[in-house]
Amino acid sequence: MVTLTIRIQPMLKRLGLVHGTAVLAALLSLQVAQAQAPAAPSPAFPGWAYPVNPPAVPFDDKKLQRAPGSKKRFTQAQIEDNFTPPDWHPEDHPALPDVVAVGRKPAVSACMKCHLTNGGGHPGSSDLAGLSVGYIQQQMAAFRDGNRTGGRATPMIPISKAINEEEILAAARYYSSLPPQPAGWRTIKEGDRVPVSFIHTGGMRLPSPGGHKEPLGDRIIELPQNAEHVELRDSRAGFWSTAPKGSFKKGEKLVKEVGGKTIACATCHGPDLNGLVDVPGLLGRSPLYIYRQLNDIKIGARKGGTVALMQPVVANLDEGDMLAIAAYLTSQKPKHKS
């Protein structure tokens, strides 16, 4: 009970539940919900890469939140609503298609709720900026047809079954038109200690109160550069990651196929790894997302179509290899479209 109280104190403050019976009621509610929470990831889906969403909690629908550099105001309840996510900086991007901005009730959530207006997404989702229209269409079909079923694919499956082809095309054209995120929006370094953290709403990993650190171990931990801004789903709020020492060098060897354990990524993803036609670029994306895709293919949670070409690539890779590849690829900056 003490640990639970420490971890949710900042959340309770944001919800306005900071006194007396309100705190007790919230704690009791969370305890009941915790008993009904989804099971922790299996060994095939390590928790550092596959965050499990915690039980839902009510969000403040009265206090207006502010994001730096924006004149707009939204309540946290609006921010967390699948059909009213905030567009804090409309000047930063082209006009939003309806499916990106508000989705379509009851089952097609607004794309920017998880992938943001800049396509950068959060570590629990994916970076869509600059992916080809064809690739995005293929992936929506894979979710729909049962060919993408990994631990973080769950939210996309019902959406893929409800969305229509016109909406998919509109979203794909929008995200395909976007450039990679600016330098500094997503960074990664090597280290051996990281802030103690916990999983918050939407699979967001946030630093725990107190500023304590813990050993990194065989993980990559990706955290917000500013937790409060990321919780606002501010598209200007980026992330930083820590990978185990030696990951970049090891990953580079595997990516370039030095040693015969795998196949050079450039074979299909282009000499600069920036992608070819409907083969996605690999550089600068979330290391957790890259790891999940390699792992999902290895264990069969991604299959069908061109995924067959990736199966021999991952066949001999272990968890440490995939972690190193993800770390190295994130450390390399993508090129902007000409």
pLDDT digits (tens, 9 = 90+) for 246-275: 999 999 999 999 888 999 999 999 999 999
Closest to 147 (Cα-Cα) out of 305, 328, 324: 305
pLDDT tens by residue, 187-234: 999 999 999 999 998 889 999 999 999 999 999 999 999 999 999 999
| Residues 278, 269, 219, 184, CA torsion sign | negative
Contact criterion met (CB below 8 Å) for 40 and 50:
no
Q: Is the dihedral of CA 331, 316, 280, 92 positive or negative?
A: negative
Biggest alpha carbon distance in the chain? 63
300: left (phi over 0), alpha (psi -120 to 50) or beta: left
Residue 38: which pLDDT band, with cuts at 50, 70 and 90? very low
Question: What's the average model confidence in pLDDT over 311-337?
Answer: 92
Pairing of strands 186-191, 193-195: unpaired
Q: pLDDT confidence of 99, banded at 50, 70, 90?
A: very high
pLDDT(319) > 60: yes
pLDDT band at 336 (very low <50, low <70, confident <90, very high): low
The β-bridge relationship of strands 186-191 and 239-244 is parallel
Choose from 53-62, 145-154, 242-251, 329-338 the range with maximum mean pLDDT: 242-251
